[in-house]
Structure 1
Amino acid sequence: MIVVVGIGADGMSGLPTASRVELTRATTIYGSPRQLDLLDDTVSALRRAWPSPLLPALRALVDDIDGDVHVIASGDPLLHGIGNTLIKMFGPDRVAVLPHVSSVTLACARVGWAVQDTEIISLVTARVHTAVRRGGQAVVLSRDADSPATLARLLAETGRGDSELTILEQLGGPRERRRSATAREWAGRPPHDVDKLNVMAVRYLPDERVAHALPDDVFAHDGQMTKQSVRAVTLAALGPRPGELLWDVGSGSGSIAVEWCRSASGCAAVAFERDAVRRARIETNAISFGAAVDVRGPAPEHFEGAPEPAAVFVGGGITQPGVLEGCFDRLPVGGRLVANVVTVESEAIVAQWYSRIGGTLRRYQHYHGEPVGGFTGWRGAMPVTQWVVAKR
């Protein structure tokens, strides 16, 4: 059995009896040097620091030990912690977890927030901009001592400078510290003495959350983008599910990729775009909305090495040789592909694929009112043909 024991910044004194008993009977305990240093003399086990990189060596380390293996981890090991990794690797029947109070619960207690109303964002492995939001509140798990200053600067640069940012260091321990300011204030005078063991409680202001498709004018774009009304039906066709990855091929402004990332927890996207100026614009839009978008070069040349998608959207470049073939080849069984086209040439390609493998064809035409002299008339946008198919 692998026994994972959570420990807080208060060390052994904060552990419940069951956790203490496990640690005192252990023969070998794995953990980071900081966590191992929290153990006192009542623990006689051999202490081993995790190797780096950890994952390739994890199975061999555990299999080399007879009997139970003990692991010590920060707070709740199931909250973005080693407990999840071990359960995925060895199965729930071989892993027992004795959690401590999580840093999220402690942070909410300090600022007076209900945990169920608070988003949890981890920057331990994610890029800092993925913690940018347009409203709401979140506990952000920092990667290091620089995370608060970097996030404050990004919030200020993306119009969230009034956001309230509280830095909470060494939560639950004797050296606990709490400091609050607006993101704009932190960006103007970054704190240089932040402990590397910190989390942030952020209330995002102004609160401009919307659940529907975003207006076109909130994106940086050059006119080549999927417009709001078509974007809405495209997201409905793509059907994002929590934790899924999208390939946005011929991404343009990245509007579909951004909307995908906003749609469900843990959703991410890879954007493929031929034009360098547009790639920079996609990066700007991703940062502005805190979207986890990996921006790459043109399709299909840059498909190699990209993680497998759950869904693919083709918004441009469908007439390029190998684009549709490459998308379909890399789509897993059950994955969805949606292609939006507006030209006769691209429609011809879609029609051939539809005739060969099926799916659903739709055509959308929308109009908006414009002045005609002293009156109002209808101006039609270009019709969009959409092909939707699931791989069998």
Structure 2
Amino acid sequence: MLLARRGYRVLLVDKAVQPSDTVSTHYIQQYGLVRMKEWGLLDALTATDTPAIRRMTISYRDNRIDGFADPMDGIDATYAPRRTVLDPILLDGARAAGVEVREGCTVCELIMEDGRVAGVRTADGGEERAKIVIGADGSGSLVAREAGAEIYQSIPAASFVYYSYWTGLDTHFHSRIGVGRQVGVWPTSHGQTLIAIMKPIDRWEEFRGDVEGNFLQVVKDIVPDIAEEVASSGERVERFIGMRYPDNYYRRSYGPGWALVGDAGYHKDPITGQGISDAFVHAEILAERIAEGLSGARPMDEALAAYQAERDERTASAYRFAATIGALVLPPELEKVFTALSRNEEFARDFYNLIAGAITGEQFFAPDNMARMIGSLG
């Protein structure tokens, strides 16, 4: 969409046909919504039946933090639309910008010429050539595999997730971490509430022996009030969906004639729910750099290298933080920070502004700010 709006011819090939669901907890922070607002797509989202979220409860063991972030560019809420709601909005935006969209079309390999990616071949026997091929095709990216994109930084995955959807619940956003387990709850589209649990990856096989029983027990242990509401008035309306997380990684995301964006190039533990918002930001950066290369403002390889460097710099602290809390056992210093957040409204507001994207991890976790928070405990 962003490249087409700059006047470039763009072909979008997707094996899915919208509306189509995908494994996703589909939460969008304010910094992601700011992107949608600037692109002219936010009104389409807020016009759906996806409720606004204006209250959050985050906890670690007995340390509970209630609150919400300050408004960001006039946005005072967050949303968690089902992907069957969000993805068609994005696709409509691309079509309106002039993108040629081919749904139900699967890419099977890249076209290589003189050491460069020159296009794609599709499963129906078609060939399409382009000056650049962008892989936005997830952690198992075909574009990454075919281009030989190596992973240059990795932290092993610590957990797995199971989730499903209920009707009949009345709750706000929760992310509640206990000892070796986490429960996430938030309202989504169609009058539904998503409930997700996380547990250490070495409990995967044990958990799968009784998914429903084990799932509901985690909810009961961590958020008994919500568990009681689920039992008394909730109705599960979809199957349980489980996923072992891929490792946290940075993958080389550019080369001659190709680039990667979203989970194809960078993935961190989903516990912070920043995947969609990050993908929006990185798509915008990548579009700007590609436009520089196509226009001749700078060499394409240099422009794409700048994209990867900026992405890595902007995500470094969030990457480490997600991997740390994704282990579901906080180191002592970070546990003290959570204690301080639960006792001080100013610190809690800063924390929610960090989640919203209004302040950076480097600012929040700066040594002097960490010392100020921990020092407040006496």
> One fold, TM greater than 0.5?
no
Q: TM-score, normalised by structure 2?
A: 0.22
Higher relative helix content: 2
> Which structure ranks higher in relative contact order (CA pairs < 8 Å, sequence separation ≥ 6)?
2
Q: TM-score, normalised by structure 1?
A: 0.21
